[in-house]
């Protein structure tokens, strides 16, 4: 069933692909941004008036943080281990955050080129606690494209 006019995608249905394989459904994604330098160019017009132009500059690398439940997802865990060990030949992967509609059809893809895990943080461990154990993983990437 297609979206009706005015419908928006719900923010709760998304996952992570690594090298084209869906490996994890996530609890949250934060800080996923794209930034580009801005070049300001000033010159005089033919009439001698100052003119300022702004042009796109170099795209910046970025990072995002994903939170996942502590699972035994072997592909994601191996990716984290390779990154921690500094095995950059196998740690740099193409990864995508896939946003899906309510019928699990992909609606938007955020492709991260040469992505690797630069930080991992486990949630609080507490005797007598009843919360699920999660990991926050910071993913660093060289280029972001959006489909």
Structural domain spans, the chain = 14-146
pLDDT of residue 146: 93
**């690797």: which residue's tokens?**
116
Angstrom distance (rounded) from CA 65 to CA 117: 9
Asked whether the beta carbons of 144 and 61 are under 8 A apart, the reply is no
Asked whether the beta carbons of 112 and 96 are under 8 A apart, the reply is yes
Question: For residue range 132-143, what is the model confidence (pLDDT) as tens digits?
Answer: 889 999 999 999
CATH 2.30.110 fits 14-146, yes or no: yes
Question: For residue range 11-70, what is the model confidence (pLDDT) as tens digits?
Answer: 778 889 999 888 878 889 999 988 999 999 999 999 999 999 999 999 999 999 999 888
pLDDT of residue 79: 92
Contacts of 101 (CB under 8 A, 6+ apart): 3, 9, 10, 13, 107
């Amino acid at each position: 069933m297609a979206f009706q006019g005015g419908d928006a995608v719900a923010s709760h249905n998304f996952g992570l692909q690594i090298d084209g394989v869906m490996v994890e459904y996530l609890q949250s994604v934060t800080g996923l941004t794209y930034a580009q330098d801005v070049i300001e160019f000033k010159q005089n017009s033919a009439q001698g008036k100052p003119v300022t132009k702004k042009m796109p500059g170099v795209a910046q690398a970025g990072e995002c943080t994903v939170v996942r439940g502590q699972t035994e997802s072997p592909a994601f865990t191996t990716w984290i281990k390779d990154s921690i060990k500094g095995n950059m030949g196998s740690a740099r992967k193409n990864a995508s955050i896939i946003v899906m509609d309510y019928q699990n059809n992909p609606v938007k893809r955020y492709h991260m080129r040469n992505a690797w895990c630069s930080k991992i943080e486990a949630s609080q461990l507490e005797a007598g606690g009843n919360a699920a154990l999660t990991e926050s993983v910071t993913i660093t990437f060289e280029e972001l494209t959006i489909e």
